[in-house]
């Protein structure tokens, strides 16, 4: 016991010696941009009392880092399996079987894009098959932070590998600040390593900064009407992103594409005009990328925030409380639905696993797999299973703001939860993913 304790102390001291910089998003997440960026959930802070973030969608005073480092959380979680009831949503979409990358059999599931390429289909089939049974480990990068060897975006990954000897199955990236080349380079490298990638996009209508993503207030109808100046500007921006995604398609990299995240928050421009405006923006991009640009490597992830938000969506000066079902784009326009939150109640299992978001997704009328697409802290495997919140994945936000979610993983004993989630059989790390080739 003493040896394990001392080993973890040493590992943590290495981790804490690394540096981080950047800002935080407002609301319930922290940010992904250069030091001025923050994430969506944190973005809600700009419009809700829960906002404590300073800075992509993800935007804690330290307690004891090794306090219960050798806790039995992982042991207690490993010997129980996920409730089979929670996998019924994925199972209901089945339509036959096919070979898995490892040579077994898997159920074939229907993507919204009927022309999706074979590798993307294999990834989606795998995700649907494990949904309700296992969770992918996920970690967002801060592109402007480097690891001890100077590799950009790898600080969080190095910390996790140092502490737990494993890397996350899913790497989160962001095209913020037009970082197309850098994101694509790291995405291709992660895929070649055997991992999965999810990409979000903090952007304004014209400028590509985090600030613009929150400050812009476009007229959605003009934005989407052919020939207007607003439309010309927006289409030029869409073409840049489509070109970057096409490069990944050419390289054979499937992308869990997560645009317009925290869609219902009211802090990003795409949600400010309410659900009808948002749905127009989403479906316009979906149709353009799918039908015009022939991007067949995308798995579309529709990401809500973590609660029902109240904001003035029609300019009448009154705050509107809009139910989540009003924002839903329809099964034909997405493949995975999700929720994120940076709220964390250490004294309640549901408050550690975003049960509020899970329950709200029950109201939208979709059987799509569900992802906990951003968080700052999270519960352990037993928390997720006992509450029935068996998300397809969790993704912890990066170190690129004052929260430093990985660097300060000791907050509220979250280091124990991290350890459990990386070391038990309920979760999937990078080394446990199938060989897609």
Band of pLDDT at residue 314, cut at 50, 70 and 90: confident
User: Is residue 69 assigned to a domain?
Assistant: yes
**Residue 296 DSSP SS3:** coil
248 phi and psi, to 5 degrees? -65, -35
User: Is residue 32 assigned to a domain?
Assistant: no
pLDDT at 403: 84
Cβ-Cβ contacts under 8 Å for 86 (sequence gap 6 or more):
132, 388, 390
Query: Is a pLDDT exceeding 70 seen at residue 100?
Result: no
pLDDT at 331: 97
pLDDT at 413: 61
pTM assigned to the model: 0.79
Whether residue 237 contacts residue 104, with contact meaning beta carbons closer than 8 Å, is answered with no
User: Is residue 31 assigned to a domain?
Assistant: no
Band of pLDDT at residue 400, cut at 50, 70 and 90: confident
Total tally of structural domains belonging to the chain: 1
The boundaries of the domain holding residue 85 are 60-432
User: Is residue 36 assigned to a domain?
Assistant: no
User: Is residue 367 assigned to a domain?
Assistant: yes
Range among 90-99, 156-165, 291-300 rated most confident = 291-300
Pair of tokens at residue 294: 């022939």
Mean pLDDT for 56-62 is 38
User: Is residue 23 assigned to a domain?
Assistant: no
Query: Is a pLDDT exceeding 70 seen at residue 9?
Result: no
For residue 197, what are the β-bridge partners?
171
Query: Is a pLDDT exceeding 70 seen at residue 242?
Result: yes
pLDDT at 409: 82
10 phi and psi, to 5 degrees? -65, -45
User: Is residue 4 assigned to a domain?
Assistant: no
CATH number of 356's domain: 3.20.20.80
pLDDT at 87: 40
User: Is residue 437 assigned to a domain?
Assistant: no
Query: Is a pLDDT exceeding 50 seen at residue 69?
Result: no
Integer angstrom CA distances of residue 329 from 53, 58, 164, 204, 333: 29, 23, 39, 21, 6
């Amino acid at each position: 016991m003493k040896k394990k304790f001392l080993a973890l102390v040493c590992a943590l001291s290495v981790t804490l010696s690394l540096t981080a910089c950047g800002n935080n998003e407002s609301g319930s997440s922290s940010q992904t941009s250069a030091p001025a960026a923050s994430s969506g959930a944190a973005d809600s802070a700009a419009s809700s009392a829960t906002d404590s973030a300073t800075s992509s969608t993800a935007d804690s005073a330290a307690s004891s880092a090794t306090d219960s480092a050798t806790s039995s959380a992982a042991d207690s979680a490993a010997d129980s399996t996920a409730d089979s009831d929670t996998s019924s949503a994925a199972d209901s979409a089945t339509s036959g079987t096919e070979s898995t990358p490892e040579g077994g059999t898997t159920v074939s599931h229907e993507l919204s894009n009927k022309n999706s390429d074979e590798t993307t289909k294999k990834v989606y089939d795998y995700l649907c098959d494990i949904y309700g049974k296992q969770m992918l480990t996920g970690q967002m990068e801060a592109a402007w932070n480097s690891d001890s060897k100077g590799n950009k975006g790898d600080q969080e990954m190095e910390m996790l590998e140092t502490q737990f000897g494993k890397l996350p199955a899913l790497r989160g990236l962001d095209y913020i600040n037009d970082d197309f080349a850098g994101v694509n380079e790291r995405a291709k490298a992660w895929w070649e390593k055997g991992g999965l990638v999810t990409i979000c996009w903090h952007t304004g209508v014209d400028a590509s900064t985090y600030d613009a993503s929150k400050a812009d207030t476009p007229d959605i109808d003009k934005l989407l009407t052919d020939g207007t100046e607003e439309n010309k500007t927006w289409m030029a921006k869409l073409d840049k992103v489509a070109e970057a995604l096409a490069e990944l398609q050419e390289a054979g990299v499937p992308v869990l594409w997560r645009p317009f995240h925290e869609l219902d928050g009211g802090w990003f421009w795409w949600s400010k005009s309410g659900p009808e405006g948002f749905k127009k923006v989403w479906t316009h991009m979906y149709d353009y990328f799918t039908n015009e640009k022939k991007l067949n490597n995308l798995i579309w992830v529709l990401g809500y925030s973590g609660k029902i938000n109240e904001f003035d969506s029609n300019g009448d000066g009154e705050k509107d409380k809009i139910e989540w079902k009003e924002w839903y784009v329809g099964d034909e326009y997405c493949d995975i639905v999700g929720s994120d939150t940076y709220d964390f109640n250490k004294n309640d299992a549901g408050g550690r696993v975003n049960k509020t978001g899970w329950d709200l997704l029950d109201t939208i009328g979709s059987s799509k797999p569900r992802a906990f697409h951003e968080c700052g802290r999270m519960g352990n495997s037993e928390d997720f299973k006992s509450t029935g919140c068996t998300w397809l994945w969790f993704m912890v936000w990066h170190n690129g703001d004052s929260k430093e979610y990985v660097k300060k993983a000791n907050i509220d004993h979250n280091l124990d939860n991290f350890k459990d989630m990386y070391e038990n059989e309920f979760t999937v790390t990078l080394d446990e993913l199938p060989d897609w080739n």
